[in-house]
Amino acid sequence: MAETIYDVIIAGAGPAGSTAATLLAQYHHKVLLIERAQHPRYHIGESMLPMADSIMQRLGVAWEEGNLRKGGAEFIDEASGRRTYFPLAGHYRTFQIERSVFDERLFLNAIKHGVKTHEQEQVQGVQCDTDKVQVKTDKTQYQGRYFIDATGRNALMAQQLNSIKKIDNLGKYALYHYYKLAESEEADKLFTHGNIKIFLSEVGWIWCIPLTGRRLSVGLVVQKKVPLDLKQDALFAHYIHASTYMHELLQGAEVLSSLRLEADFSYQNSRRYGARFACCGDAAGFLDPVFSSGFFFAVKTAELVADQLHQALLTGTEAVADLHVANDAIYQKGFKTMHLLIERFYCSNLVENLFFESDRQPQIKQEIVALLAGDLWQEGNRFQQGLLSGRNS
């Protein structure tokens, strides 16, 4: 029997893989999407950015269904009593989502659009030849015209090409738990506003993300040295309960998970595309999650790659090695902005001098809100220009 030749073979059915697959199928290309796990599968990363909205609309996914509306982002320093709030209102609309449920919806949506899918199959290696790609899995081998790596932080192509560049000085690791909150006035307020709260901590920062069903995602991201004698559970409890707000909010809460850990999460893949392949989402790079940019970059890079690849498949130019050079520059501007913002968050007085002062400077406030919304390619954002040119430190 003749082997099927796919137009595009995609490894990894997270947000990046399912988005790229759906968009390419909408263009009527023949797509195979291979996922090593089985949906629904657990994934961290619940807080979304508004600029993913237009991509969800293109996919035909109503992300308002079953998810909590995210009002905005609050930054709080309990030690000094200072706080600030960046509302995501007007045309900025987004949600706090449960990833296992939502990622499965994106995956089923890809199937609905005609994508051929295989779950519980792991891609092990890829060979990009001049006339085709060969994708080897733990079950068999496939041929296609193009390969997209959307394997997340497994970064299959980067492992194969040895092209991971670690980014230092950001958060070192995250410890996190899920809770169901007891009835309280503070909990009611949290679920009504849907804000993500970021608390500055002695050792890094804490996220507090409300979800539907009175559930809460709470994480501690550690950037500084911690007492060596504290084991992970004790460390998490110590720094979470050092926050008066979190201590009170968690009174009577039911713990829904065991403590989870993610480490070494900031890097960039220096070979994000080449002849007959491109990398999307975390497989292209990942930044510390303080500004919740991961899901957005995943679907944005998938959109950029899919649109470009569609044209190339039509004209038979998909083997051109620098096919994605222009779109990669667009991505790089966004990634670099976020990277600089996160770096300033950790290594300068950005929060003290700019975030907490921004209520007195409406223009700057608006420009910071744009970046926190993922609106990274606006003309004339002077705050962003300052970041990119080395000012705003």
Ligand X SMILES: Cc1cc2nc3c(=O)[nH]c(=O)nc-3n(C[C@H](O)[C@H](O)[C@H](O)COP(=O)(O)OP(=O)(O)OC[C@H]3O[C@@H](n4cnc5c(N)ncnc54)[C@H](O)[C@@H]3O)c2cc1C
Contact between 309 and ligand X by CB under 6 A: the answer reads no
Q: Which of the stretches 40-48, 230-238, 335-343, 345-353 binds ligand X when contact is defined by CB under 6 A?
A: 40-48
Contact between 55 and ligand X by CB under 6 A: the answer reads no
Nearer to ligand X, 327 or 392 (CB): 327
Give the contact letters, 217-256, x = binds to ligand X (CB under 6 A), - = no.
--x-------------------------------------
Q: Which of the stretches 20-28, 279-287, 320-328, 359-367 binds ligand X when contact is defined by CB under 6 A?
A: 279-287
Residues facing 198 on adjacent strands: 75, 207
Contact between 289 and ligand X by CB under 6 A: the answer reads yes
Contact between 102 and ligand X by CB under 6 A: the answer reads no
Contact between 181 and ligand X by CB under 6 A: the answer reads no
Q: Which of 223, 306, 297, 285 is nearest to 26 (CA)?
A: 306
Which listed residue (74, 262, 307, 357) binds ligand X by CB under 6 A?
Answer: 262
249-278 exposure pattern, b = at least 16 Cβ within 10 A, e = fewer: bbeebeeeeeeeebeebbbbbeebbbebbb
Number of residues that bind ligand X (CB under 6 A): 40
Kindly state the helix (H) or strand (E) to which residue 197 belongs, with its residue range: strand 196-201
Burial of 21 (0-12, 13-18, 19+ CB in 10 A): buried
Q: How far is the CB of 353 from ligand X (least distance, A)?
A: 25
For residues 31 and 25, is the Cβ–Cβ distance under 8 A?
yes
Residue 296 and residue 304: Cα distance in Å, rounded? 12
Nearer to ligand X, 84 or 269 (CB): 269
Query: Does the N-terminal peptide bond of residue 227 adopt cis geometry, omega within 30 degrees of 0?
Result: no
Which listed residue (94, 201, 243, 292) binds ligand X by CB under 6 A?
Answer: 292
Q: Which of 95, 103, 239 is nearest to 173 (CA)?
A: 239
Contact between 136 and ligand X by CB under 6 A: the answer reads no
Q: Which of the stretches 28-36, 185-193, 306-314, 380-388 binds ligand X when contact is defined by CB under 6 A?
A: 28-36
Contact between 72 and ligand X by CB under 6 A: the answer reads no
DSSP per position, 99-132:
HHHHHHHHHHHHHHTT-EEE-S--EEEEEE-SS-
Contact between 45 and ligand X by CB under 6 A: the answer reads yes
Contact between 212 and ligand X by CB under 6 A: the answer reads no
Contact between 123 and ligand X by CB under 6 A: the answer reads yes
C-alpha distances out from residue 107 to 103, 165, 284, 286, Å: 6, 30, 20, 22
Contact between 274 and ligand X by CB under 6 A: the answer reads no
Contact between 215 and ligand X by CB under 6 A: the answer reads no
For residues 16 and 298, is the Cβ–Cβ distance under 8 A?
yes
Contact between 35 and ligand X by CB under 6 A: the answer reads yes
Q: Which of the stretches 33-41, 56-64, 270-278, 345-353 binds ligand X when contact is defined by CB under 6 A?
A: 33-41
Q: How far is the CB of 215 from ligand X (least distance, A)?
A: 14
Q: How far is the CB of 253 from ligand X (least distance, A)?
A: 20
Residue 393 and residue 388: Cα distance in Å, rounded? 10
Site for ligand X in 137-176 (CB under 6 A): 150-154, 156, 174
Contact between 392 and ligand X by CB under 6 A: the answer reads no
Q: Which long-range contacts (CB under 8 A, 24 or more apart) does 260-263 make?
A: 260/44, 260/175, 260/176, 260/177, 261/173, 261/174, 261/175, 261/232, 262/44, 262/173, 262/174, 262/176, 263/172, 263/173, 263/174
Binding site for ligand X (CB under 6 A): 11-17, 34-37, 41, 43-48, 122-123, 150-154, 156, 174, 219, 262, 265, 281-283, 286, 289, 292, 294-296, 298
